[in-house]
């Protein structure tokens, strides 16, 4: 059932054709040449201005909004309706001015989308959209959404761009923007300077499309310049100016901040040496081949779900649950708890599939499946998982933004957590306090013990999400929260009351049953963290392409095909991050195509055995522990110098 949208929403349109000469048409628009004005606070731009508007034709299927094959100019598939609508050609400064006013503006398929009205309706949460403000979100929107969802987003077009788009740093990541009435050139003076020093591979043609504003507030942070981006981050990025820092480090005492900065620069240099360049030509070629690979994957039917494989999954789930009940009836509480833990472990994989619409590819059906699996049978919120996981897929391994690696005070996988980072997801400072200093000093030894009890933290996060109403309260997903609450009540009724309280006689046996069943979740939590904890957390700036970032921050685990049931698709996280909606049982076949793509574009493909991957994770945790110890020494030396200076 389609949700009725408020009257202020833009008129609905159909699906975008892949041809550059096509766009979406609003069926409520009765006159193709109708004049429409857009008031953006700084003057009015007429929708039929001859200087800024080109008419595009949309070829739209009359049935369901689905992928439209590329068509040559002037061609029309059968059974389609051709209409025209005009969109203004928008300059970079106009888009920057909109963002400066707080508008949620992004680029998809060369169209400018203003998503303020969609923000509270987005089933995947608001944070995911906010990370795309000022950026070309074409790849993220395409691979994370069904064609129907993408068509819905395309209702919010207000204009179009021409040529290659150079990403801004989104406001949620610290981006700063100028209002249109502030005037000034298309590029700031700082931007021109940094453009000239960006890299040897940059061409003069790159300069016209770089950001037009300083990006970060310099208060209370160490300011670093970027090559190729007029942005300054609270964490150094790939485009920083090494010349200003390296020469000075040898001549001064290294305090804590200088130590962290030097480590950041070292990490960035390692990635710049290992991965393809960040110039427009290189990244555009990667994106082009990435999209061609997506078409090949579709052509080979790898987006089609293998339902026979799910029949086998269902038999496995049934066997484990029946084993739990049988052993429970016999009074064998340890094996009963083990079966329940294995049941939950396997069940999570299908919840993950449903959350990505990888089972039926229908939003409502897969969402209901996910709620039944996660909430009713597992006591975990699929809504929390979606909100968290969508952000993770967009800003993977970013210490400031990816909630999947934000685990202070217990874990830190990057030295940047030692600097009191602010989490944009949790909207709070992740303080490197006394508790964090203690836990991080022994984190390599605490990793596996904490993994044994990770599920208890997931309960807390799930209830926080549902009680605080952090999910969408409007649109097609408004009722999901209440179905999830019902699922939570059902779970604690059958598990907490029916199994633990009513079926087990003593408190000690109840305690053992709960602990053992949850400890059997440890392999799952190791599998989840294994894919990213040992990979890069460096920020290479806003111009790194989506596929390169996913490949740089994610690893696959090599295992024989007969063990695929144990890993549940999590061993193919590289493939999954590139194409999240590919059904789990097709990931192994897709992996071969992704490896060919990596060889073609020159991006390293991270593939480790399970044991070697675990060694790398422990090694990363140990490395951050050593860095924390060095930081403490630097701070002591700096404090003693300050104290000594005051004593004179």
pLDDT at 260: 87
Query: What is the rounded average pLDDT of the residues 160-178?
Result: 94
Query: What is the rounded average pLDDT of the residues 34-57?
Result: 36
Q: Which candidate, 99, 121, 128, 102, places its Cα nearest to that of 112?
A: 99
Query: What is the rounded average pLDDT of the residues 4-10?
Result: 37
Q: Are 268 and 241 in contact (CB under 8 A)?
A: no
Backbone angles phi, psi at 373, to 5 degrees: -70, -50
Q: How far apart are CA 505 and CA 495, in angstroms?
A: 15
Assess whether pLDDT exceeds 70 at residue 461: yes
Any idea what DSSP says for residue 69? P
Query: What is the rounded average pLDDT of the residues 145-151?
Result: 90
Assess whether pLDDT exceeds 80 at residue 576: yes
Helices 522-530 and 610-647 cross at an angle (nearest 10°) of 70
Q: Are 334 and 357 in contact (CB under 8 A)?
A: no
Query: What is the rounded average pLDDT of the residues 565-584?
Result: 96
pLDDT at 473: 84
Query: What is the rounded average pLDDT of the residues 519-547?
Result: 95
- In the Cβ-directed half-sphere of 367, how many Cα atoms lie within 13 Å? 16
pLDDT at 467: 94
Which region among 159-173, 189-203, 587-601, 634-648 has the lowest average model confidence (pLDDT)?
Answer: 189-203
Alpha-carbon distance values, 211 to 194, 231, 539, 618 (Å): 11, 8, 17, 39
Q: Which residue has the higher pLDDT, 229 or 559?
A: 559
* Interval 85-103: pLDDT, tens: 889 999 999 999 999 999 9
* Interval 433-444: pLDDT, tens: 999 999 999 999
* Interval 326-339: pLDDT, tens: 999 999 999 999 99
Assess whether pLDDT exceeds 70 at residue 24: no
Which region among 110-114, 207-211, 269-273 has the lowest average model confidence (pLDDT)?
Answer: 207-211
Query: Helical H runs in 181-236?
Result: 189-196
Q: What percent of the chain has pLDDT over 90?
A: 66
Any idea what DSSP says for residue 19? S
Alpha-carbon distance values, 44 to 92, 184, 280, 609 (Å): 16, 19, 33, 59
Q: How far apart are CA 349 and CA 409, in angstroms?
A: 28
Mean pLDDT of the chain: 80
Assess whether pLDDT exceeds 50 at residue 12: no
Single pTM value for the model? 0.78
Q: How confident is the model at residue 207 (pLDDT cuts 50, 70, 90)?
A: very low
Q: What percent of the chain has pLDDT over 70?
A: 75
Q: How far apart are CA 13 and CA 28, in angstroms?
A: 9
Q: How confident is the model at residue 251 (pLDDT cuts 50, 70, 90)?
A: very low
Helices 382-394 and 333-355 cross at an angle (nearest 10°) of 60
pLDDT at 640: 74
Every domain of the chain with CATH number 3.10.120.10 lies at 37-173
Return all residues near 428 (Cβ < 8 A) that are at least 6 apart.
422
Ordered DSSP codes for 135-180: SB-HHHHHHHS-HHHHHHHGGGEEEE--SPPPPPPPGGGT-----G
Q: Write the Ramachandran bin of 125: left for phi over 0, alpha for psi from -120 to 50, otherwise beta.
A: left
pLDDT at 295: 96
Q: Are 328 and 503 in contact (CB under 8 A)?
A: yes
Which region among 235-244, 362-371, 394-403 has the lowest average model confidence (pLDDT)?
Answer: 235-244
Q: Which candidate, 198, 189, 202, 205, places its Cα nearest to that of 227?
A: 198
Q: Are 24 and 14 in contact (CB under 8 A)?
A: yes
Q: How far apart are CA 632 and CA 366, in angstroms?
A: 49
Assess whether pLDDT exceeds 60 at residue 544: yes
Give the per-residue SS3 of 83-130.
EEEEEEECCHHHHHHHHHCCCCEEEECCEEEECHHHHCCCCCCHHHHH
Assess whether pLDDT exceeds 80 at residue 11: no
Return all residues near 343 (Cβ < 8 A) that are at least 6 apart.
317, 320, 321, 324
User: What is the assigned CATH class of domain 37-173?
Assistant: alpha beta
Q: Would you tell me how many other CB atoms lie within 10 Å of the CB of residue 516?
A: 17
* 488-493: long-range pairs with CB below 8 Å, 24+: 488/375, 488/379, 488/381, 488/462, 488/463, 490/375, 490/376, 491/375, 491/376, 491/377, 491/378, 491/379, 492/379
Q: How confident is the model at residue 180 (pLDDT cuts 50, 70, 90)?
A: confident
Q: How far apart are CA 369 and CA 363, in angstroms?
A: 10
Backbone angles phi, psi at 39, to 5 degrees: -95, 110
Assess whether pLDDT exceeds 50 at residue 560: yes
Q: Walk across the sheet containing 111-114 and list its strands.
A: 105-108, 111-114, 157-160
Sign of CA dihedral 378, 383, 389, 393: positive
Q: Would you tell me how many other CB atoms lie within 10 Å of the CB of residue 634?
A: 18
Beta bridge partner(s), residue 539: 237
Q: How far is CA 493 from the centre of its chain?
A: 34
């Amino acid at each position: 059932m389609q949700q009725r949208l408020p009257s202020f929403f833009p008129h609905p349109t159909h699906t975008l054709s892949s041809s550059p000469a096509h766009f979406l048409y609003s069926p409520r628009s009765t006159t193709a040449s109708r004049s429409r004005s857009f008031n953006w606070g700084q003057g009015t731009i007429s929708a039929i201005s001859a200087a800024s508007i080109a008419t595009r034709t949309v070829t739209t299927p009359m049935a369901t909004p689905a992928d439209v094959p590329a068509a040559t100019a002037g061609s029309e598939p059968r059974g389609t309706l051709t209409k025209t609508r005009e969109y203004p050609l928008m300059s970079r400064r106009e888009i920057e001015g909109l963002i400066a006013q707080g508008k949620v503006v992004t680029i998809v398929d060369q169209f400018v989308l203003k998503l303020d009205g969609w923000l509270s309706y987005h089933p995947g949460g608001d944070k995911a959209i906010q990370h795309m403000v000022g950026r070309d979100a074409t790849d993220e929107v395409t691979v994370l959404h069904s064609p129907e969802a993408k068509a819905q987003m395309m209702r919010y077009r207000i204009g179009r761009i021409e040529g290659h788009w150079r990403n801004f740093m989104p406001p949620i990541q610290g981006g700063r923007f100028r209002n249109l009435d502030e005037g000034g050139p298309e590029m700031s003076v700082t931007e021109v300077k940094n453009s000239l020093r960006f890299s040897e591979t940059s061409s003069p043609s790159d300069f016209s499309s770089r950001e037009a504003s300083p990006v970060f507030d310099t208060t209370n942070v160490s300011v670093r310049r970027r090559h190729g981006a007029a942005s300054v981050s609270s964490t150094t990025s790939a485009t920083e100016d090494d010349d200003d820092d390296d020469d000075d480090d040898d001549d001064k005492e290294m305090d804590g901040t200088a130590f962290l900065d030097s480590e950041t620069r070292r990490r960035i240099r390692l990635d710049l040496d290992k991965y393809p360049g960040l110039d427009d030509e290189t990244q555009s070629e990667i994106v082009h081949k990435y999209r061609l690979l997506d078409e090949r994957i579709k052509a080979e039917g790898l987006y089609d779900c293998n339902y026979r494989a799910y029949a086998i999954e269902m038999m496995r789930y049934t066997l484990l649950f029946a084993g739990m009940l049988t052993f429970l009836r016999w009074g064998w509480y340890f094996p009963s708890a083990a079966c329940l833990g294995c049941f939950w472990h396997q069940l999570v994989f299908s919840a993950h599939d449903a959350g990505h619409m990888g089972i039926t590819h229908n939003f409502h059906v897969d969402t209901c499946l996910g709620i039944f699996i996660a909430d009713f049978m597992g006591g975990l919120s699929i809504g929390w998982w979606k909100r968290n996981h969508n952000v993770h897929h967009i800003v993977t391994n970013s210490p400031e933004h990816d909630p999947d690696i934000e685990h202070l005070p217990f874990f830190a996988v990057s030295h940047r957590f030692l600097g009191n980072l602010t989490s944009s997801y949790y909207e709070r400072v992740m303080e490197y306090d006394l508790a964090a200093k203690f836990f991080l000093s022994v984190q390599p030894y605490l990793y596996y013990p904490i993994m044994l009890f990770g599920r208890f933290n997931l309960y807390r996060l799930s209830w926080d999400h549902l009680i605080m109403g952090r999910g969408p309260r409007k649109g097609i997903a408004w009722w999901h929260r209440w179905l999830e609450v019902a699922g939570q009540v059902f779970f604690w009724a059958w598990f907490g009351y029916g199994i633990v309280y009513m079926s087990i006689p003593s408190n000690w046996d109840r305690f053992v049953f709960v602990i053992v069943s949850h400890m059997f979740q440890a392999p799952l939590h190791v599998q989840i963290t294994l894919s990213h904890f040992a990979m890069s957390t460096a920020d290479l700036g806003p111009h790194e392409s989506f596929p390169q970032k996913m490949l740089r921050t994610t690893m696959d685990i090599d295992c024989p095909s007969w063990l695929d049931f144990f890993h549940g698709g999590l061993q193919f996280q590289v493939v999954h991050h590139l194409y999240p909606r590919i059904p789990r049982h097709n990931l192994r076949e897709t992996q071969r195509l992704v490896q060919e793509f990596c060889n073609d574009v020159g991006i390293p493909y991270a593939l480790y055995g399970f044991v070697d991957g675990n060694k790398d994770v422990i090694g990363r945790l140990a490395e951050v522990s050593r860095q924390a110890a060095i930081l403490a020494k630097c701070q002591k030396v700096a404090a003693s110098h300050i104290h000594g200076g005051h004593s004179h």
